[in-house]
Amino acid sequence: MTMLLQGKRLLVTGVLTDKSIAYAAARLAQEQGAEIVLTGFGRGLRVTERVAEKLPRPCDVLEMDVTRPEHIEAVVADLDTRWGMVDGILHAVAFAPKSALGGGFMSASWDDVSTALHISTYSFVALGRAFGPLLAKAGGGSIVGLHFDASQVWSGYDWMGVAKSGLESSCRYLAHAMGGQRTRVNLVAAGPLRTVAASGIGSSFGDFEAVWPTLAPLGWDAADATPVGRTICALWSDWLPQVTGEVIHVDGGAHAVALGTPADAPG
């Protein structure tokens, strides 16, 4: 039986632990027949290399700081030589300085805000632009980014919330810009998961995690990134050829409920 991602060549950013969404996506993609390359940078590069050994098939890790054009260009050159094309990319990169989170919305400096926007928002477009030719060689391919619902205020999320709003708009514009080459561009908005990124927003994450089961009709397990990873794999596959510029919520349905009580158990 042909696997969902048989023969696909995928670039995955943002793997720091085996609990991360990016790791779940990479693991599931390999199980479905894909070839994977991961990226990391700085002190995190060795961490990513160690985590890569835990995948079903240990893979190469390339250095790529998304704020450094020369790093992006070097990875493009490597994958051009290695594969000649790229079928899919996961943008799982986000960061905001502490001053821009946890109540710092009104006090954060432009330097810190610009860092958050550069890494969390602009880099999504930068990857699309740089890898566009390799995606085109694969018949278009699929770029997927990680999102968190930006339609309302989340206490303590502050400038990261603004960055995610920009990411959502950037997704639509990038989908429009790359549609002519058949590249699909989408975001997956996950519910709260216990990842390195979640730890960066401090005590506010506990509030998110506590409220989610009271809202999500399907329930929510903050320790399980597998449902999000499966959705990413579906977007990388050939099964959704006309889906682009979209935000797909994988949050148990919480985004659709304004206020509620724990859903009744099925059955």
Please spell the DSSP secondary structure of 192-228, one letter per residue: ---SHHHHTTTTHHHHHHHHHHHH-TT---TT--HHH
* CA dist., res. 75 & res. 131, Å (int): 9
246, 133, 129, 23: CA torsion to nearest 10: 60
Identify the DSSP state of 94: -
Helix H or strand E segment including 153: none
Give the list of residues 6+ apart from residue 79 with CB closer than 8 angstroms, or none.
9, 11, 37, 86, 131, 134
3-state helix vs strand vs coil in the chain, percent to 5: 45, 15, 40
Question: CA triplet 153, 158, 161: central angle to 5 degrees?
Answer: 65
Q: Which residues are catalytic?
A: 157, 164
Q: CA–CA distance from 249 to each of 153, 158, 196 (Å)?
A: 17, 21, 20
How many Å apart are CA 63 and CA 190, to the nearest integer?
A: 26
Residue 237: how many CA atoms within 13 Å on its side-chain side?
Answer: 19
